[in-house]
Amino acid sequence: MRIRQFGDPTLRRPAEPVTEIDAEVRAICATMVEAMLRANGAGLAAPQIGISKRIIVLDVEGQFHVLINPELVLVEGETEELSEGCLSLPGVSAPVTRGSRATIAGTTLDGERIEITGEGLLARAIQHEMDHLNGHLFIDHLTPARRKSAVQEYKRKQKHEEA
């Protein structure tokens, strides 16, 4: 399954909650993990593969998680402005300000309710993937001028790849 790119309407819709962890949800999760690993990503949300469900996968600094119906519990710490990219806007990065520590709660594929607190890259990945579940992209955190520049850069790269 391919990762949906900027402009795909699924990326802009808030994702629906998962009502049951069944074979279909497990298959979606397996597909997401495969797509994330194939793209060398740190995380992936179900809308990025065209499925409007509240599911994320994370693979950051030796921590691997699959979370169903995750909720952002807390973002705290110093804010950091770091370069951020996205598998749905390949080849584009821009400085995004996020909290340096984030806590997320969700359900594992085994039905266990867990809470994860991350700092640094994991905190950033948590916030980034939660944005996807709410229909937002990292470029939404940019100033209008930076957002326009990032979109233009994406379009240029896409045009170049098609040529």
Catalytic amino acids? 129
CA distance 102 to 48: 22
Q: Of all helices (H) and strands (E), which one includes residue 80?
A: strand 63-85
CA distance 37 to 133: 19
- CB atoms closer than 10 angstroms to residue 140: 12
